[in-house]
Amino acid sequence: LSEDPVGITADLGVTGPGERAWLLQSPCVESGRTPEAERAKAAGGVSSTAAVFIVVNAALGAGLLNFPAAFNMAGGVVAGLMLQMCMLIFIISGLVVLGYCSQVSNEATYQEVVRVSCGKVSGVVCELSIAVYTFGTCIAFFIVIGDQLECLMAAVAHEAAPSHWYLQRRFTICVTAILVILPLSIPKEIGFQKYASGSERLLLPVLLSPCSSCSCAPLSAPLTVCSSCSAASWTAVFNAMPTICFGFQCHVSSVPVFNSMSRKQMRPWGLVVTVGMIICLFVYTGTGVCGFLSFGSEVKQDVLMSYPSDDIAIAIARAFIVVCVVTSYPILHFCGRAVVEGLWLRCRGEQVELCVVRERRRRILQTVVWFSSTLALALFIPDIGKVISLIGGLAACFIFVFPGLCLIQAKLSESDDRSASWYVLVVYGVVMVTIGAFVFGLTTSNSVYQDIVS
């Protein structure tokens, strides 16, 4: 949900399928940049101002719905804000590191930067992580669709909860998935999605509606209690980190954005990511504080589910988020399928001619298996928080671990005299890898444990 490659390609002014293929293809397929991509790049890149909005566009997603619950898990508004501010330092520095490593390695995609900087094994691990991350995000998409459509159906039927089977969650997910999402996911190219590329802007009402309803929502506890309550344990604070990582994770998309800039230099790129992440910080903080102060410890993992189904403003927000998610699923599926396709071709070592002949059969099979698996899991996972807690750990790897490894390898490969700044950067890379590994291990193991217990 945090990734929006189509929005990025649209904002970059990329219009042909060749250019989109260059930005979105899995770099596992060992081929150079296409001539179309080179011509698009030579035509002039985007400005720093445009790059800010592209970064924000890539980061903002439906992970925003989970932030009030993350504030509750962290122990309140103060704890949530402090946790966000501390993580924001590493999030911004990770984006800067990726731009630097992309410049050093002369590669234009996240996976290939990791592969060239850290070796083939790390590259394969990165590709597998992206495939798992996009797979989990697609499951979260279906869960969001089911939750919001069920509330919309209840509002239409003037009921507290849908009583008829054709209005309930599982049926609405299946109908929407089969009739709308599957046909959008099968095509080879995603150029047709340019007509839906502005759908991510529909997240604005999702933000504004809960905020505008905050003043009229009944408080479940006094504001002083809600804003200063403490977490159940010290590990509970860390359990809020997957949601924050999931919300701010735009690092996989950041490398193509950096390479699309007209001034591909570190100073303007640092300014771009700093401004972009500060904007995201205000958006996520506004939603998190508003939702948490409205419902306190009773806030649900999806904040919109905490509001009554007959609220008109919230119903509009639900409709917008459904449209956004429906048009975003094929994009994430395309990215995941591209990684799977690249890994498959590399493992088989097939010739290009055979790959082209069998491409259609492989694509349909991969799409059906991916679609069926994510749909089946979404039908039996009613809580989006369980999915985010798992894939949020992977988001921490994209933010901390892989950029840290790339920074270490980039500095170790330098043959110049090693000054004090060299040692500082190497140590900082080690710190990033250590924090990322700790967050991933702790949150993932705790999420699996909680799922087993419950």
- Tens of each residue's pLDDT in the chain, 454 residues: 444 443 434 343 433 333 333 333 333 333 344 444 444 444 467 888 888 888 887 787 767 788 888 888 888 888 888 889 999 999 999 999 999 999 988 888 888 899 999 988 998 999 999 999 989 889 988 988 888 888 888 877 777 666 677 777 888 889 999 999 998 888 877 655 544 444 444 454 454 445 545 544 444 444 444 444 555 556 667 778 888 888 888 888 888 889 888 888 899 999 999 999 999 898 888 888 888 888 888 888 888 888 887 778 788 888 888 887 887 888 788 888 888 888 887 777 765 555 666 778 888 898 999 999 999 998 888 777 778 878 888 889 999 999 999 999 988 888 676 788 889 999 999 999 999 999 898 888 887 877 777 6
Residue 434 lies in a domain: no
CATH of the domain at 309: 1.20.1740
- Any residues with CB less than 8 A from the CB of 35 and at least 6 apart, and which? 18
Q: Residue 210 is which amino acid?
A: P
Domain count, the chain: 1
- Enter the tokens of residue 98: 């990726």
The 10 Å Cβ neighbour count of residue 55 is: 26
- Which residue range(s) make up the domain with 189? 5-385
Centroid of chain to Cα 192:
22
Cβ contact 146:169 at 8 Å: yes
- Any residues with CB less than 8 A from the CB of 116 and at least 6 apart, and which? 105, 107, 123
Residue 176 CA to residue 331 CA, distance in Å, equals: 16
DSSP state of 46: B
**What's the predicted TM-score (pTM) here?**
0.78
Residue 219 lies in a domain: yes
Alpha-helix residue ranges (DSSP H) falling in 15-119:
17-24, 35-42, 48-59, 67-74, 77-105, 110-118
DSSP state of 218: P
Phi-psi region of 290 (alpha: psi -120 to 50; beta: other; left: phi over 0): alpha
Q: Tell me the C-alpha to C-alpha distance, in Å, between residue 300 and each of 64, 69, 159.
A: 13, 6, 20
Closest C-alpha among 29, 36, 51, 19 to residue 112? 29
Q: Residue 82 is which amino acid?
A: M
Closest C-alpha among 323, 46, 100, 58 to residue 195? 323
Residue 12 lies in a domain: yes
Q: Within 13 A of 438's CA, how many CA atoms are on the CB side?
A: 8
- Enter the tokens of residue 421: 């700044």
Residue 424 lies in a domain: no
The three-class DSSP label of residue 261 is strand
